[in-house]
Structure 1
Amino acid sequence: MNTYNTINVGRRALVTGASSGIGAAIARELAAIGIDLVLTARRRDALDAVAATCKGVKVEIVTADLGKPDAAHALWDAATANGPIDILINNAGFGYFRRFDEVDWSRDAELIQLNLTSLVALARCFVDAHKAGTAPAHMLNIASTGAYQSVPNMALYAASKAFVRNFSEALHDEHLGTPLSVTCICPGGTETAFHAASGGGDYSWIANASMKSAEFVAHAAIRAMLSGKRTIVPGLLNKLTCFGVRFMSRRLASRVATQVLGKPRFALPTRSLT
């Protein structure tokens, strides 16, 4: 059962990275409260499968690779062709679990494009579309608990999520008192294909104990977004971890992250799944 305040909620949402994991779960959460959807990712077959589970609403599919330059603006044009976007879910992203010097620059460039540049481009399109509006508009950006500290073997990914968190919180504060709200969610480990796609790790019991389902994260995210929250960390252990970092030196926090995540476990695929 959905426990959301849906008064004055927009009627059409764009969800990036919607082909699996948190993005797919968010799409289903939004459909359950009557929000029409524009779903995007690279894989049409996976998007079709997700769309089939989003009952009772209109679902459009736009295939796009946001790891490519200028893909964000082309996506925005396609997504708004049939009507305005009232809710933007910036979920698309990927990471890898390896030393920085063990991965080709082309992969890092794609990560920066997807996790940062495309997210900012879509955020700008959304803000420009709503800055003079009077109807409620909601932006939800997906970061990570990695946004609270440096994470060895996920150096660039965690740094990109720190950017997302800081960027989102600044936008939230810039638009206080307006119909436009911006929320950032910082999940910890989530039961998705991300771990295999990133090369995974020999995780400690703490990391495994704090793992949440994509549905849990999606529900927390949408509830926070519709409540106009600034930042949320879903899950008690994840909250305690992010709070506890404040009392550690940055060097100690980095060492703890290394112990919690362990060593790379799986082979590194050529590309993430979403």
Structure 2
Amino acid sequence: MKTYTSNLKGKRALVTGASSGIGAAIARELATLGVDLVLTARRHDALEAVAATCKGVKVEIVTADLGQPDAAHALWEAANVTGPIDILINNAGFGYFRRFDEVDWARDAELIQLNMTSLVALARCFVDTRKAKTGPAYMVNIASTGAYQSVPNMALYAASKAFVRNFSEALHDEHQGTPLSVTCVCPGGTETAFHAASGGGDYSWIANASTKRPEFVAHAAILAMLCGQRTVVPGLFNQLSTFGVRLLTRRFASRVATQVLGQPRFELPARSTT
């Protein structure tokens, strides 16, 4: 695994979706670099547990549900009370593994709000704030390998991540040569609670073989951020798959995705309100 050097000590980072998985791993990775943290998610107790593992830095907790309208602006105001944000990690998101017509609109509306609208709102707040400041700043948006193709049974989730990828890459290009760097991270399968919450799990050996630990993804994300990369796909197998779909017709790539991910579980877990 590659290592990196940085001068981030004393900087402040806002990490969304920081209560578990990739978000928690990124928070811990930033803490090792001396970055003070503002952690946010819906579960206060889980955030406290993550905060306890981020040693040697100041950690603030802001409980927020970014699946709700206008939550992003309230979060941004709360995060900036004790100082400016230098690093924005847009990690919060969720998906479900079901046919589009088998899921109620309320869950779809929340997915759109969380995966796209709140991400854009926070990005806008960050960009607007950085106009009046000097020094390097970093935005990292977490997308998915699903951003590279359509994914049956995850139609809306994959489409939302395609949006995140295109949006992030455009922002990167717009800010080329400025102190603000924007990086898009496109993980494949990762060992997090996402799979159980999405109703997935009946995956092929290919999907299981390419699954990475959240710490692996977090390290790749921060390394790419510090190197000013436009987009990074963590893991060789995932890099090969996202490149390989370019050689297939879009219809055939969609069929391959169906075979790799298998069939949805019988029951889709309820979306937690905590």
TM-score range, shorter chain: over 0.9
Amino acid at match of 2:213: S
What is the match of residue 66 of structure 2?
Answer: 66
Distance 1:56-1:261 versus aligned 2 partners, 3 A rule: same
The CA distance in 2 between the partners of 1:10 and 1:270, in whole Å, is 40
The CA distance in 1 between the partners of 2:273 and 2:145, in whole Å, is 21
What is the match of residue 15 of structure 1?
Answer: 15
Query: How far 1:70 moved relative to its partner?
Result: 0.1
What is the match of residue 149 of structure 1?
Answer: 149
Note the aligned Cα RMSD (angstroms): 1.5
SS at match of 1:189: coil
What is the match of residue 229 of structure 2?
Answer: 229
Q: 1:74-85, aligned counterparts within 5 Å?
A: 74-85=74-85
SS at match of 2:92: coil
SS at match of 1:251: helix
What is the match of residue 219 of structure 2?
Answer: 219
What is the match of residue 210 of structure 1?
Answer: 210
The CA distance in 1 between the partners of 2:14 and 2:2, in whole Å, is 20
The CA distance in 2 between the partners of 1:168 and 1:186, in whole Å, is 11
What is the match of residue 56 of structure 2?
Answer: 56
8 Å CA contact 1:62–1:79 kept in 2: the answer is yes
8 Å CA contact 1:10–1:87 kept in 2: the answer is no
Q: 1:137-176, aligned counterparts within 5 Å?
A: 137-176=137-176
What is the match of residue 119 of structure 2?
Answer: 119
8 Å CA contact 1:198–1:272 kept in 2: the answer is no
Q: Percent identity?
A: 83
SS at match of 2:46: helix
What is the match of residue 259 of structure 1?
Answer: 259
The CA distance in 2 between the partners of 1:196 and 1:267, in whole Å, is 10
SS at match of 2:258: helix
Q: 1:83-94, aligned counterparts within 5 Å?
A: 83-94=83-94
SS at match of 1:13: strand
Amino acid at match of 1:96: Y
What is the match of residue 196 of structure 1?
Answer: 196
Amino acid at match of 1:14: L
Query: How far 1:7 moved relative to its partner?
Result: 3.0
What is the match of residue 40 of structure 1?
Answer: 40
Distance 1:197-1:181 versus aligned 2 partners, 3 A rule: same
Query: How far 1:269 moved relative to its partner?
Result: 1.7
The CA distance in 1 between the partners of 2:133 and 2:271, in whole Å, is 39
What is the match of residue 245 of structure 2?
Answer: 245
8 Å CA contact 1:10–1:137 kept in 2: the answer is no
Q: Does 1:106 align with 2:106?
A: yes
8 Å CA contact 2:206–2:260 kept in 1: the answer is yes
SS at match of 1:270: coil
State how many pairs are aligned. Answer: 274
Amino acid at match of 2:64: A
Query: How far 1:186 moved relative to its partner?
Result: 0.1
8 Å CA contact 1:69–1:113 kept in 2: the answer is yes
SS at match of 1:94: coil
Q: Deviations over 1:107-136 (max 9, x none)?
A: 000000000000000000000011243210
Higher relative contact order (CA 8 A, sep 6+): 1
TM-score of the superposed pair, with normalisation by structure 1: 0.97
The CA distance in 1 between the partners of 2:56 and 2:9, in whole Å, is 17
8 Å CA contact 2:10–2:36 kept in 1: the answer is no
Structure 2: runs of 5+ lacking an equivalent: none
The CA distance in 1 between the partners of 2:34 and 2:4, in whole Å, is 12
Amino acid at match of 1:33: L
TM-score of the superposed pair, with normalisation by structure 2: 0.97
Distance 1:10-1:158 versus aligned 2 partners, 3 A rule: farther
The CA distance in 2 between the partners of 1:179 and 1:132, in whole Å, is 12
The CA distance in 1 between the partners of 2:2 and 2:80, in whole Å, is 27
